[in-house]
Amino acid sequence: MGVNKPTPIVYLVDDEFSIRDSLTLLIESTGQAVRSFESAEAFLNNYDPEQPGCLLLDVRMPLMTGHELQNELSKRDINIPIIFISGHADIADSAKAFRAGAVDFLEKPFDNAVLLERINEAIEKDLSFREEFTKKNLIQERINHLTAREKEVLSLIVKSHSNKESAKILNISNRTVDVHRASIMEKMQAENIAELITMVMYCETPSSRSKAEIFR
């Protein structure tokens, strides 16, 4: 989005001081930036969704637990990758975490190399996600600029209907379809039909947006 991308930050939420302290030192020693919080609430109050990074999250904490924080972030449409760290190798806990989209679930004490690797992976994931997200937003923006009739024509093109078929369905002349099509190609900045279809498909897939949403 911006010209100079902010450096990713590893967020760390654990109520245990020794864990926060030791992990901060460890991660900092690899050159990553770290911000640690002793509670989920403190994290929520300080987190900037625009800031790329990942979250190391303890499962058991007083007041808001790791799972609860995960749900809260999802509710707020925040997609920061989460790596759970827990003192208990509880299958139920880990299943829950993965179902909700966690990157990994590590049991304390963990292999530091694995942790650091997962952190890197998570950051990568976040960065690429953010990139895709930006792209999609761009395409969506273009779609939003189409007229209602153009959107109808586009949806028929994506469904591989020919000009003739489209004219029939929409009960308009072939010629009119041609005019709309040219306008769509121009507004979507597509070189050809293949590229146009790829754009629309790309906008559909990664997130769970349906066509209805796209052509709102």
Partner 1 sequence: MNKSLIRDLNAKNVNGGPAGSFLSQHSEAILKQAESMLRHSKADIAKMSTEDIQKLLFEFQVQQIELKMQNEELNRAHLELTASRDNYALLYDLSPVGYLTLNETGIIQKANIAASTLLGHTKQELINKRFGEFVHPSDQDNYYLFLRSLLTLNTGQTFNTGINDSSRSPTQSKCQYFKLCTNSPQSQDKNGISTYVECYARVVCNDKNSLQICLAINNINECKQAQDTIARLNEQLEETIRKQTNQLIASNLSLMKKVEELRRSRHQLVEREAKLNSIFNASVEGIITVNTSDIIVSANAAVETIFGYKPQELVGYNISKLMRSSPKETNHCCLPSTFESVGQIREIEGIHKNGSIVPLDLSIAEFSIDNAHYFTNIVRDVSLRKYREQQDKEHLDELAHVTRLGLMGEMASGIAHEVNQPLSAISSYAQASLNLINAENPDLAKLIEILHKTQQQALRAGQIIHRMREFVKSHSKHRSTADVNCLIHEAVSLCTDELKQNGIKLIFELKNNLPPIYVDHVQIEQVIINLIRNSIEALQNLPAKQQRQLTIHSRLTLNDGIQIRVKDNGPGIDEEQRQKILTPFYTTKTNGMGMGLSISRSLVEAHEGTLNFDSEPGKGATFYFTLPTRNQPNGR
Q: Tell me how far, at minimum, the Cβ of 89 lies from partner 1, in Å.
A: 10
Q: Which stretch in 75-83, 102-110, 168-176, 203-211 sits in contact with partner 1 by CB under 8 A?
A: 102-110
Provide the 3-class DSSP secondary structure of residue 123: helix
Residue 14 contacts residue 85 (beta carbons within 8 Å)? yes
Q: Which of 152, 142, 156, 129 is nearest to 52 (CA)?
A: 129
- By beta-carbon proximity to partner 1, the closer residue of 69 and 156 is 69
Per CB under 8 A, contacts with partner 1 among 12-51 are: 15-16, 18-19, 21-23, 25-26, 28-30
- By beta-carbon proximity to partner 1, the closer residue of 61 and 199 is 61
- By beta-carbon proximity to partner 1, the closer residue of 106 and 190 is 106
Q: Which residues bind partner 1 (CB under 8 A)?
A: 15-16, 18-19, 21-23, 25-26, 28-30, 60-63, 65, 85, 87-88, 108-110, 112-113
